[in-house]
Structure 1
Amino acid sequence: MAELTTTLQEASSKPKLKNLAPWLLSGPGTLFFLTLLGMPLLMTLILSFNSFDYAAGIITTFSLDNYLEVLKDSYFHEIFLRTYGISLAVVVLCIAIGVPEAYILSRMRNPWRSLFLVVTLAPLLISVVVRTLGWVLLIGGNGLLGKTLEALGLADASSGNLMYTHTGVIMALVHVLVPFMVISVWAALQKLDSAVEHAGLSLGASHATVFRRIVIPQVLPGILSGSLIVFALAASAFATPAIIGGRRLKVAATAAYDEYLNTMNWPLGAAIAIVLLVANVALVMSYNRMMERRFRRTLG
């Protein structure tokens, strides 16, 4: 009887252990995530509610003045509008470049496909700062692009300089981020059955129609994920806007950096960082829900 009772108790405890298994397996990763990311964010959030005085420094208190300044000051409105305007332009250009590039790569045969895939993704192995400095040498006043336009009579020495302009920042960010779009679309294209394309062509559809009506709807999840990655990285980018845009063309990340290190107003810099984080999360989640609904509607 005692053995039967022990067996029943062990059997009843197994479902409990099975239910706890996901929590036990995800526990170390969750703890690691909260330690390395959650704690700095929490400390930044607490810091953003403090006050700052140029004579006394950081004053430990609870105040919403920093958030009110960020949300009401037209100076910060311009910075955030510039940040998201540049980010949207970068996303559109990355889609226009990355989707056809990934499609062409997926239709190549080895060894050319492997070679060009390595060439496309090779920039990810180089530091963002190094790539951005390369763009400085290319689009600066004495750069190759400016001198070429000047030699062709298409621009003078001043207009050929794309430094400290929206165009220069967008070009450099597209070069930095387009591999992420290629990777996302490439992964979606691996699930695409080429027989579906051949069926469309055999029924009289053109290549452009097959690409628009068959390929694009099926790789839409890859385009969606790539757009989210590119948008989030472009909106929070610091090195490229700081080097190409300089102090003339501030974005949210460089504005927070200036508050931290130039004016030493850490609470205001923390408030800018938190507002940027909340705005990025809200925009990414809204875009994700909108595209998922459209994707479901397209495929019925």
Structure 2
Amino acid sequence: MTALPASTIAEPDGPARARWADSDEAKGLMLVSPTLLYALALLLLPILIVFAYSFWSQDYLTIDRTFTLANYRTALGEPIYQDLLWRSLTISLVVSVITVTVSYPIAWFISFHGGIHKNLWLFLITVPCWTSYLLRVMSWKVILGYQGVLNTGLMSTGLIDKPVTSLLYNSNAVVITLVHSWAAFAILPIFVSLEKIDRSLIEAAHDLGDNKFRSFLRVTLPLSLPGVISAFLIVIIPTVGDYVTPKLVGGKDGVMIATAIQAQFGKGANWPLGAALSVTTMVIVSAMAGAVVLALKFFVRRIR
């Protein structure tokens, strides 16, 4: 049997590649690729730089690029960093759970009972976001202060004889401020998820004998779970690294890990340790967020 020439075997590949190059898929990929590479350069490159710094060491202003795990041993072994990291994770988790819990009924009401005024409700929800984040934090400092709005109101009603000092400069003040600051960002993805639910599915559940609460658990909540997960991630990821809120309303009992990271990159002049603290926090938060997401999915499957 005579073997075919190599040129004859390779011929089909050429036309195939030409057809693929002229396809909509190739044109779309070529259109997206520059933007994707640009986004990766802006998002991934800084993370890789911080990751590399975490394995180096620094003596004053001199960076020693010799590989070392000393920064991670310090970040995970020093009691002060363990305490700050644990407090940050706890506060962030509490803030996320409260924010999603508070935001869900609001989003549900707008979606199912907003009627023609849905856009108005959404507009009102986003109004606080028009102001500076710093201004919103400072407003809670005025509300919770020693002679603030809350203490003044309680004293005027006779519920307390003197101002309460435990309202401000603690972890509770940080939680309250962060919940208020991120509630709007949690409401919107939950609302979008609820809007996508086919209302005929809920009617079918009622026709099959489910009451309103059971149809909510078996239909509405599972179908809106993507929005709940998105809202949870939107809140937990930035709040664990929040620096402004603990600085202004947290006091010594509300200090979080971001303060220690900023100190190492600033006055401490130890960028590798600051990078190790950042990477450690990022990894732990990612693992905790993944665990919570899996727990939510398991919970929804159990109640259906």
Q: If the TM-score is normalised by the length of the shorter chain, which range does it land in?
A: 0.7 to 0.9
Structure 1, 71-80 or 283-292: larger mean CA deviation: 283-292
- Contact kept in structure 2, 1:150 and 1:160, CA below 8 Å: no
How far does residue 132 in structure 1 lie from its aligned partner after superposition?
0.7
Aligned length in residues: 294
Q: Secondary structure of 1:159's match?
A: coil
State the match for 2:69 in structure 1. Answer: 64
Cα offset, 1:152, TM superposition: 3.7
Residue 123 of structure 1 is aligned with which of 114, 120, 128?
A: 128
For the pair 1:12 / 2:22, whether they are aligned, the reply is no
**Residue identity matched to 1:245:** G
Structure 1 partner of 2:180: 175
Structure 2 counterparts to residues 50-199 of structure 1, below 5 A:
50-53=56-59, 56-62=60-66, 63-155=68-160, 157=162, 159-199=164-204
Q: What residue is the counterpart of 1:216 in the other structure?
A: 221
Q: 1:249 deviation in Å?
A: 2.2
Structure 2: which 5+ runs fail to align?
A: 1-10
**Which residue identity is paired with 1:49?**
F
Larger displacement relative to structure 2 (135-144 or 121-130): 121-130
The Cα shift of 1:224 comes to: 1.5
CA distance in 1, matches of 2:44, 2:167: 39
What amino acid is aligned across from residue 40 of structure 1 in structure 2?
A: P
1:237 aligns with 2:242: yes
**In structure 1, which of residues 23, 44, 49 is the aligned counterpart of residue 55 of structure 2?**
49
Q: Deviations over 1:119-168 (max 9, x none)?
A: 11222332211111111111111210122233345456563452221111
Q: Is the Cα contact below 8 Å between 1:169 and 1:240 reproduced in 2?
A: yes
CA RMSD of the aligned region, Å? Answer: 3.0
Show structure 1 runs of 5+ residues with no match: 1-6
Range 289-298 or range 265-274, more displaced? 289-298
- Which secondary structure does the structure 2 equivalent of 1:262 belong to? coil
Q: Judge which range, 142-151 or 92-101, deviates more.
A: 142-151
CA distances 1:96-120 after superposition (whole Å, capped 9, x unpaired): 2111100101123444322221111
- Is residue 141–residue 157 contact of structure 1 (8 Å, CA) maintained in 2? no
Partner Cα distance (2:46, 2:160) in 1: 47
Change beyond 3 A, Cα 1:48–1:157: farther
| Alpha-carbon distance between aligned partners in 2 of 1:295 and 1:168, rounded to the nearest angstrom | 32
| Contact map agreement 2:218 2:303 (CA 8 A) in 1 | no
Preserved CA contact (<8 Å) 1:146 1:160: no
Deviates more, 1:192-201 or 1:255-264: 192-201
- 1:279-298 → structure 2 map (5 Å cutoff): 279-292=284-297
Deviation at 1:67, TM superposition (A): 1.0
Deviations 1:261-282 (A, max 9, x none): 2322222212111111222222
Residues 174 and 254 in structure 2, CA contact (< 8 A), matched pair in contact too: no
Q: Distance in 2 between matches of 1:158 and 1:268?
A: 41
The equivalent residue for 1:256 is 261
Report if the CA contact (8 A) 1:217-1:298 is conserved. Answer: no
In 2, Cα distance between the equivalents of 1:184 and 1:96? 13
The answer to whether the Cα contact below 8 Å between 1:146 and 1:161 also exists between their aligned partners in 2 is no
Range that drifts further, 276-285 or 227-236? 276-285
More displaced 10-residue stretch of structure 1: 34-43 or 80-89 = 34-43
Give distance in 2, aligned partners of 1:225 and 1:127.
24
Q: Matches of 1:156 and 1:233 in 2, distance apart?
A: 39
